[in-house]
DNA sequence: GTGGTCTAGACCACG
DNA sequence: GTGGTCTAGACCACA
């Protein structure tokens, strides 16, 4: 389902949360669907269950999923409208990305191009 | 020569290495040129010299410069900068950012708009 | 008789125990009266009987009711409800809430207003 | 400085974060002041440093403090204005508090009285 | 010295 | 079975 890179300097917890976030954004899950259990996913990825649990908790704090003791984590039904927070988070992430590109020697056009590809990766898919 | 932001959550070491990498990529130095000494640069930036030393070390590990005890660091002969890594990092960061925006309820246009702002935030620097 | 909210993050067990505690505090039962059986109440609420059983167990631990195998749970003779604990818990929760508001930049009036709304949200139930 | 109760069912991490939040709300620290180090506070409280670290991280996520590797955690300078999130958090906390009180058998007047006391606990103190 | 991350595993709460 | 919390300690990154 998702892949992680234990050699990356990026914390596993963030990698997992990020990957799940992307999966959710692509609409692969319907609201109400259950995510794999913490221990299940941890086993699949070969990491400690605590690491996955923290990733889940983070997504729950962001309002993307609902986790409750004794039950599987489920995708949250409604879409939030707290766009103010989202917007500032977005700004920060995009700025960081642009900085990465420029510092790495990419041209502005390269970056724009990559951005377009990324956006296209999340096709306007309808709720089939 | 370069600027750093002590309020950023990005490690100083990385900021310095990144800025130097960019400077090198812009061809401001010829192979064989000497970089400022660790203590010199540390003094200019107002940071601990260990931090600068580690940034130099990192660049040396990447094969961009050569550092030897008792000598100034010098630019290495040539070497295509590792843009491949940069590119994939960029892709990943942008994908995550787009996912953040979509999950937060922003429209694609909102995201494009925010991206443009982010890009504009890095001014159209000329290769002087 | 009592209502529970399966969407709340508050454990079902606690919701049930709390509701029963409140019912008892309102004097709806005389000492010696029988409570509904665990399975009966579980069926009415649509939850697992283990959950109800644990709520009863908790009340029994608090000395409010008496449960014995093969008999219905009965109300215990008397006992001032432990309002002292409730009061200090309340104080703590309200202090935390006020701190949240102030740190978030809200005015004291905003907080008072929000408090009033919260209180109003629990309707003016009469002790029928 | 702060007290915790290891017998409480409330997670230590939350107790610590909550206590610090209150301390901050009371203006005992000036922006820029340093908090005790993670290991220092952990030692004082008799808990594992990870527990304190998580509490600090939480406060940092909320924008109340700034934590950076290699440096002490410091109080964040500016006051955020993201009142939308704050407001909804406040609502939830106050509702929960009111529920606690009512379920515990307190009268509405008792609750209002306790709220007033809590609010008064955060005197309108000026930046002396 | 600071904080950050991860593993490991105990123990608990919930259904 | 689920997730939650805590301890313990290794190891890393940064200043």
In this prediction, residue A40 carries a pLDDT of: 95
Nucleotide nearest to D71 (CA to C1'): E2
Q: According to CATH, what is the number of the domain C12-75?
A: 1.10.10.10
The mean per-residue pLDDT over the stretch C21-36 comes to 81
Mean per-residue pLDDT of chain B: 84
Rounded CA gap, D101 and C22, in Å? 10
Nearest CB among B22, B93, B110 relative to A97 is that of B93
Q: Is D75 helix (H, G, I), strand (E, B) or coil?
A: strand
Q: CA of B6 vs C1' of F4, distance in Å?
A: 36
Q: Is the per-residue pLDDT at A102 higher than 60?
A: yes
- Assigned token pair, D31: 């922006």
Q: Is the per-residue pLDDT at D35 higher than 50?
A: yes
pLDDT tens, position by position, D21-34: 999 988 888 888 99
Cβ atoms within 10 Å, residue B40? 13
In this prediction, residue A128 carries a pLDDT of: 44
Three-state secondary structure string covering chain C: CCCCCCCCCCCHHHHHHHHHHHHHHCCCCCCCCECCCHHHHHHHHCCCHHHHHHHHHHHHHCCCEECCCCCCCEECCCCCCCHHHHHHHHHHHHHHHHHHHHHCCCCHHHHHHHHHHHHHCCCCCCCC
Contact B21, A104 (CB under 8 A): yes
Nearest Cα to Cα of residue B115 among A110, A114, A95: A95
Q: Is the per-residue pLDDT at A95 higher than 60?
A: yes
The pTM of the full predicted model, rounded to 2 decimals, is: 0.81
- Give the position of tokens 């109080």: D75
Range of lowest pLDDT (C28-32, C82-86, C122-126) = C122-126
pLDDT tens, position by position, A26-46: 888 888 899 999 999 999 999
Question: Taking the CA of residue D72 as centre, how many other CA atoms within 13 Å lie in the half-sphere pointing to its CB?
Answer: 10
Rounded CA gap, A76 and A31, in Å? 6
Q: Is the per-residue pLDDT at D80 higher than 70?
A: no
Mean per-residue pLDDT of chain D: 86
Show me where the domains of chain C are located.
12-75, 83-120
In this prediction, residue B126 carries a pLDDT of: 46
Rounded CA gap, B35 and B16, in Å? 13
Asked if D55 CB < 7 A from strand F, the reply is no
Asked if A91 CB < 7 A from strand F, the reply is no
Q: What percentage of chain D has pLDDT greater than the value 70?
A: 90
Q: Report the footprint of strand E: residues with C-beta closer than 7 angstroms.
A: A 11-15, 47-48, 50-51, 68-71; C 11-14, 47-48, 50-51, 54; D 9, 35, 37-40, 50, 53, 56-57, 60, 67-73
Rounded CA gap, D32 and D59, in Å? 15
Q: Maximum Cα–Cα distance for chain B, whole Å? A: 57
Question: Which helix (DSSP H) or strand (DSSP E) does residue B94 occupy?
Answer: helix B83-103
- For D73, residues 6+ apart whose C-beta sits below 8 A from its C-beta are D34, D35, D37, D38, D56, D60, D65, D66, D67
Rounded CA gap, D72 and A73, in Å? 36
In this prediction, residue C6 carries a pLDDT of: 81
Geometric angle at alpha carbon B38, from B33 and B43, rounded to 5°: 120
In this prediction, residue A121 carries a pLDDT of: 93
Contact A35, A72 (CB under 8 A): yes
In this prediction, residue D85 carries a pLDDT of: 65
In this prediction, residue B63 carries a pLDDT of: 83
Q: CA of C44 vs C1' of E5, distance in Å?
A: 47
**Residues of chain B found within 8 Å of residue A63, distances taken between Cβ atoms:** none
Nearest CB among C18, C19, C95 relative to D22 is that of C95
Please report, for residues A105, B49, B56, C127, the alpha-carbon distance to residue B42 in angstroms, rounded to integers and kept in the order given: 24, 5, 11, 74
In this prediction, residue D60 carries a pLDDT of: 87
Per-residue confidence band for C104, with pLDDT thresholds at 50, 70 and 90: confident
In this prediction, residue C127 carries a pLDDT of: 44
Backbone region of residue C114 per phi and psi (left: phi > 0; alpha: psi in -120 to 50; beta: other values)? alpha
What is the secondary structure of chain A as a DSSP string?
Answer: -----TTSSS-HHHHHHHHHHHHHHTT-S-TTPBPPPHHHHHHHHTS-HHHHHHHHHHHHHTTSEE--TTS--EE-SSPP--HHHHHHHHHHHHHHHHHHHHHTT--HHHHHHHHHHHHHTS------
Contact C85, C77 (CB under 8 A): no
pLDDT tens, position by position, A33-85: 999 999 999 999 999 999 999 999 988 887 888 899 999 999 987 665 555 66
- Assigned token pair, A112: 């724009």
Q: Work out whether the CA dihedral B24, B28, B29, B30 comes out positive or negative.
A: positive
């Amino acid at each position: 389902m998702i892949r992680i890179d234990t050699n990356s300097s990026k914390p596993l917890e963030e990698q997992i949360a990020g990957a799940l976030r992307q999966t959710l954004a692509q609409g692969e899950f319907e609201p109400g669907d259950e995510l794999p259990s913490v221990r299940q996913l941890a086993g699949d990825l070969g990491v400690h269950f605590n690491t996955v649990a923290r990733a889940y908790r983070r997504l729950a704090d962001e309002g993307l999923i609902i986790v409750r003791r004794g039950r599987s984590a489920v995708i949250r039904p409604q879409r939030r409208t707290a766009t103010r927070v989202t917007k500032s988070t977005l700004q920060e992430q995009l700025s960081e990305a642009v900085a990465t590109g420029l510092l790495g020697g990419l041209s502005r056009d390269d970056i724009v191009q990559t951005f377009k590809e990324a956006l296209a990766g999340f096709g306007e898919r309808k709720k089939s």
